[in-house]
Amino acid sequence: CDSLAIFTTTIGAQALSAIVEKGYDTILVFLDDDNSTVKQHQRDIQRKLSLFCKDVRIVRAAKNGQPCDPKDLSNQELKELLV
């Protein structure tokens, strides 16, 4: 299981190249899910990665029924969400 932090809401050429080079079967897009702009960027990243991988999923985190940032989750919560 690998991860790549892009530190933004868009995926640059270098990150895209690194992902494509690995040839993943499944890719999870996991960004903060706190506004419509970020949600649009998630879909843009998903669409871009779908050109190279047939299974690209957007992960949405929530606590107590409310969207939350990945940084707000414990290691155990992240493991349960992603595995």
Residue partners of 35: CB distance under 8 A and separation at least 6: none
How confident is the model over 4-61, as pLDDT tens digits? 888 899 999 999 999 999 999 999 999 987 789 999 999 999 999 999 999 999 999 8
Cα(72)–Cα(78) distance, integer angstroms = 10
Hey, is 50 helix, strand or coil?
coil
- Secondary element (H or E) of residue 78: helix 75-82
- pLDDT score at 77: 92
HSE-CB at 60 with a 13 A cutoff on CA atoms is 12
- Please tell me the distance from the alpha carbon of residue 27 to that of residue 49, in angstroms, as a whole number: 8
Q: Is residue 65 predicted with pLDDT exceeding 90?
A: no
